[in-house]
Chain A
């Protein structure tokens, strides 16, 4: 028996060695030997880790944008080089240094998450390489005065204001009950929504839930006593689903709203059946596989589907726009990181998800928040929170 196992081990060892040898020869990007006729743009994020599901769509979308541009046979071509950080800062930092010093990237799309961004962005700042993140939403990132940092996704504060505005103006809610999960994400987010609806003249009351608990009956009773027109929940879908279920069982009929932490099919699953139907989830991201948002979005959705055989997903439109921003910079004749960064400070072109334009701090000037309505286990787009109408 033993010798068989040993043979098998030998086979595995040999194949691993072969794979190593093969990989050592592959994976090199061409360094554009023809005198600056290619520019390398990096993409950094969790491509193989546990959260890769929300990083692969923007990566594919960026690839799509760059392939489309290269297909027009431009004077300066762009190569997209991916850096798999697995969402971990300790892997992302050396990768970023390699990208700057060896690969000489002229710009970076990413890092995808806020945690790794906090470690990588100072390196990019010293290396003078512009970055555009499609998915890091932590509000504190914009407060460091980084000159080379940008993002194309509105931060958590903007999202709170957008959803608050939607509750006040579109839903015309006069009484709003605010619930949050006491987390670093949910609490400030819920506070922003609360102050926004209060400014619009609505009465509010609030309560916090414990993430570990499974029985929210005290919260349900408070909601019943307050009799609101709308309920807003700042937190993640795991608790959001249970909350909807218990509210409905308690006889509360008011409309349920939440933010991007609940933008997942798990919300409807947690509530069970069609209980969550009609709930509205806001997100500063545009997910529009059917192209209802406009012709540009429709074209992007069909192109994406044709190339990757899958619908556009979370952050894919933002990834496409980040690549578009770099492409526009290269089209305008900027091929060095420094020049591209200068160009990004004045860029003002229409993108798929929003107008591509940055504030001096690197935040997107567009504050669009999109709303999605739960329907069965789907989350179809309703439209922009400023003008979406609720059926």
Chain B
């Protein structure tokens, strides 16, 4: 087939999308401070009214929208933010990320059930414990690179799950039940007037954590996500973020230039793990009961897919990717047994359409164009996508 791809409508769409997303980016980076804050404010307001019934009936006709927003959507977003530190910023391929999610979940279960601690205390302990486990895993393994590191982390994810399965103290294969909900902060109820009723918020108690209403959990998750975004964004723009980027692009060069690569890689691992652990604590407190099979390898793969699909290294992209990966399968429940097939098809299409991610990071896109696959030291030597100039004949 000799055919100039410039005339292909799909390619035209792709180029249009590309230039549109680039121009939005340029405008954003030149925007004055007040305009940025206005956008942040609008986003927060949108997030606050997101669980409304009117939105839910369209977004999720088959299953409870506020609960979906908490988990998987909110949970996946927070996990993706954490994994993005490891994969997107430091370029370390981690296939066992679910381990930290599991450690957080089991921390919540053990301290809540056996010691009767409150959610807030456990959240703190869970974050510390997960970060520690990140360091324990990272210390011996981060000397490895690329594929070897991926295999070791994959093993770690399985070790955590199998250990949980074989430890009688935490319930073995039966898991742990009776995990307490977060304590109710206040019985304050949203007033039952026309405006709130229209949105479906009348009579909702946003700070009372029961089993039936998903909205309070979603707001709690939202707070965590916002804190996580601020934290990660500040890191990215600091010396640490620059060190991570240099490690991702060329570890040997970074080491020669005086960047203590091992220390920074360990820090990336610990920070990613801490965010994963926080998600685990949140999930455990809502789920009432957790079993080892809640933490399968496929969840690690799903979160990694979300990061890569959205645009590794770019926070808005990662959030979008996690949202899509969590939301699409629930939205298409009407397809019944074809659900997962269509979901897989959509993922493949998106990756064909945008190999660098839906909203790629500038720098990653440049790396991809250079032919390093945009994965830093991952060792996946992907050939650069050849751009054929219109009118030129391709092979």
Q: Which A residues are within 8 Å of any B CB, using their own CB?
A: 1-4, 6, 9-10, 12-13, 16, 19-20, 22-24, 26-28, 47-48, 84, 88-91, 93-98, 100-102, 114-115, 118-119, 122-123, 125-127, 138, 140, 144, 183-185
Contact = CB atoms under 8 A, between A and B. Distances in A.
A24 B61 contact: yes
Contacts of A1: 1
Contacts of B290: 89
Given A6-B10, A118-B289, 4 more contacts: A27-B333, A101-B64, A119-B287, A138-B174
B182 interface: no
B192 interface: no
Q: From DSSP, what is the main secondary structure of chain A's interface residues?
A: helix
B345 interface: yes
Given A3-B5, A24-B61, A95-B64, A118 B212 contact: no
Q: Nearest 6 CB-CB pairs, A to B?
A: A23-B334, A97-B64, A118-B289, A94-B67, A126-B211, A98-B64
Interface in B327-358: 330-340, 342, 345-346, 349, 352
B23 interface: no
Nearest to B328: A20
A100 B71 CA distance: 18
B60 to A, nearest CB: 8
B8 A184 contact: no
Contact of B349 (A13, A23, A84): A13
B68 A94 contact: yes
Contacts of B335: 19-20, 23
Contacts of B310: none
Contacts of B8: 2-3, 6
Contacts of A144: 177-178
Given A27-B334, A84-B336, A118 B175 contact: yes
B305 to A, nearest CB: 17
Contacts of B334: 22-24, 26-27
30 contacts: A1-B1, A6-B8, A13-B349, A19-B338, A20-B342, A22-B334, A23-B332, A23-B333, A27-B334, A28-B61, A48-B339, A84-B333, A89-B290, A89-B291, A89-B294, A90-B72, A90-B283, A90-B287, A91-B330, A93-B287, A95-B62, A95-B63, A95-B64, A97-B64, A115-B293, A118-B291, A122-B288, A126-B211, A127-B211, A185-B173
Contact of A3 (B3, B62, B338): B3
B172 interface: yes
Nearest to B286: A93
**Which of B8, B63, B72, B177 has the most chain A CB atoms closer than 10 A to its own CB?**
B63
Contact of B1 (A4, A20, A89): A4
B394 interface: yes
B177 A140 contact: yes
B18 interface: no
Interface string B267-290: 000000000000000010011111
A335 to B, nearest CB: 21
A48 B177 contact: no
A185 B172 CA distance: 11
B228 interface: no
Contacts of B346: 16
Contacts of A183: 173
B211 A3 contact: no
B338 to A, nearest CB: 7
A4 B352 CA distance: 14
B177 A100 contact: no
Nearest to B395: A1
B287 to A, nearest CB: 5
A28 B57 CA distance: 12
A119 B1 contact: no
B78 to A, nearest CB: 14
Nearest to A26: B334
Nearest to A49: B340
Nearest to B174: A184
Contact of A119 (B68, B288, B352): B288
B202 interface: no
Contact of B67 (A4, A93, A118, A140): A93
Kindly name the residue among A4, A138, A184 whose own CB sees the greatest number of chain B CB atoms within 10 A. Answer: A184
A48 B211 contact: no
Contacts of B330: 91, 94
A101 B64 CA distance: 8
Contact of B342 (A16, A24, A89, A125): A16
Contacts of A27: 61-62, 333-334
B391 to A, nearest CB: 15
Contacts of A93: 67, 286-287
Nearest to A182: B166
Contacts of B293: 115
Contacts of B67: 93-94, 97
B189 interface: no
B210 interface: yes
B214 interface: yes
B11 interface: yes
Contacts of B68: 94
Given A48-B337, A89-B287, A184-B173, A100 B212 contact: yes
